[in-house]
Structure 1
């Protein structure tokens, strides 16, 4: 069964960097995010790794693992919230004490999703794929991103509904932030590979495809046992976001997932928006989507509010989700079923 953490207004938030930390030149961003969170009524505990960055890591793999374990064992911390993602989180997984993982939310995306998926698959504790801590430093928060609080405050057996954004950000302008940090200039349109309206339901699992693919064949990626035992045979609804995989690399990755059994008992697949570009050889991401949908005989949606072109909805690994697409607009319904 899935165990859902409890998060309340005024809770203590633990900031650790299991992947990349914040270099000194950008400490002002972390200070601003901490201040905003305190203004919202939260207490914030910051670990040393959040303020450090060397050779693409915040700290050694063992140090990162120990910080995470320490926050897990701190009775006052109810949310573990990395500043952002990175590239080498996978190094610290062997230092995470999964036997002592408690019902605490862990929230993030990008490289952090490798930790999120591993926790849910290994322990049955729900985790949340959504905004970065750093991106909450604005004086305002757009309606889509702001739902992170409401989602995390949802109780077991309750239902939470999120809607697609009206516009999204195509390019980062870190030196020119708006009041909500992002520059939401492009019209949002969720799409279906067969161009029809769709409704897909299943237990949500997924993350950044660039990084979670490396869990295949490891103790941290046992999807089959999770599907059969933890969620009682419920079908899986996969969500992915792509940072930089080319269409051919993505296809290879998806085939590996298929061969590894990750798509057994799959009800559908959704992809978030991506800044990655088609390779120029005529083979496009939409070709990959179509081929995958045909091979698995499941519906496939894309350009959802998920990933590196914000804003993004908050998706809970382990929750029973229903994703609805109608005339380019979308809705995510999540039921916190054990």
Structure 2
């Protein structure tokens, strides 16, 4: 069975950087995000690692792990929320004390999805793939992003229903000129493009299964390690139940994406798979005319399952809060180009 934490109002949020911290010129942004959480009624306990960044990591792996373990074991902390992702969280995995993790949520995406998936696979504790702390520094988050709080305060047995966003972002705020940035005010995201979910097969799609997933760039490196044993997780925690995978691509070209997905298949990750959902991607550079749509089509044909893409997940916000381990029902309308994800915490 899957164990679901419950986020109590007014609890303490532990902010640590198991991947990347923030350089001094970005500290004001971090302080703003912390203030927003305090204004929302939470206490914030910040670690030392969030304020430092050197050689692609916030601190050496043992220090990052020590701080993370302390927060994961602190009964007063109800949510561990890193500031953002990064590059080298994988160095921390072997130092985590998995059998001592308390009943609490871990929320994030990008490199943090490596931690999320490893924890769920090793322990059966549900983890939340969604926004990071830095993206919550706005006082008025969009409806899709704001769902993180409802998702994490849903009690075990409850249902979380989320819908496709109306608009999404193609350029981050820092990529805009000064006038464009001023026009956004305090908004964190630059939501300009209509959101359209798509299906490989065409027509309406319905899928149901236990959610697992994350950023392909990093979770692929769990294959063959003690932290990526999907088969053992399925046998121990969801015997006989299908898995519905959500995946997103940060930086891979289409050939590398394809290689990674085939490796996942050969490792048995897609056994008893009910479907695949791919998030919008700022990458997916075609190789020799081989496009992302070709990759999705190849996977659909090989696995014999429905495949959706351009869903609200990953590095082109906003994104849904998807719970690793939750039972999900997904409904997609081809005519409207939208979808609904209904997660049951059972």
Q: What corresponds to 2:270 in structure 1?
A: 263
Distance 1:280 1:261 in 2: 26
Q: Contact 1:102–1:125 (CA<8 Å) still a contact in 2?
A: no
Q: Match for 1:189 among 185, 192, 196?
A: 196
- What TM-score, normalized by structure 2, do the two folds share? 0.96
Please give the alpha-carbon distance, in whole angstroms, between the structure 1 residues aligned to 2:298 and 2:204: 19
What does residue 199 of structure 1 align with? 206
Instruction: Please list every run of 5 or more consecutive structure 1 residues that lacks an aligned counterpart in the other structure.
Output: none
Q: Hey, what does 1:48 align to over in structure 2?
A: 48
Task: Say whether residues 1:104 and 2:113 are aligned partners.
Answer: no
C-alpha RMSD of matched pairs (Å): 0.9
1:278 to 279, 282, 285: 285
Gaps of 5+ in 2: none
Larger mean Cα displacement after TM superposition, 89-98 or 321-330: 321-330
Question: In structure 2, how many angstroms separate the alpha carbons of the residues matched to 1:5 and 1:277?
Answer: 35
Q: 1: distance between equivalents of 2:291 and 2:13?
A: 41
Q: What's 1:23 paired with?
A: 23
1:296 aligns with 2:288: no
Q: Partner residue of 2:118?
A: 118
Matched, 1:170 2:140: no
Shift of 1:232: 2.1
Partner of 2:85: 85
Q: Runs ≥4 in structure 1, deviation > 2 angstroms?
A: 174-180, 277-280
SS in 2 for 1:145: helix
CA shift for structure 1 position 48: 0.3
> How far 1:280 sits from its partner (Å)?
5.0
Residue pair 1:29, 1:137 contacting (<8 A) in 2 also: yes
Residues in 2 aligned to 1:250 and 1:33: alpha-carbon distance in whole angstroms:
33
Is 2:218 aligned against 1:211? yes
Q: Which residue of 2 aligns with 1:333?
A: 342
**Aligned-partner SS, 2:144:** coil
SS of equivalent residue, structure 1 residue 185: strand
Could you report, residue by residue, the CA deviation over 1:226-275 in whole angstroms, capped at 9, with x for unpaired residues? Answer: 11221122100000010011111111111100110000000000000000
Provide the rounded CA distance (Å) in 2 between the counterparts of 1:56 and 1:229.
36
- CA distance in 2: counterparts of 1:37 and 1:178, whole angstroms: 19
Structure 2 residue aligned with 1:319: 326
Question: Structure 1 residues 277, 259: closer, same or farther in 2, change over 3 A?
Answer: closer
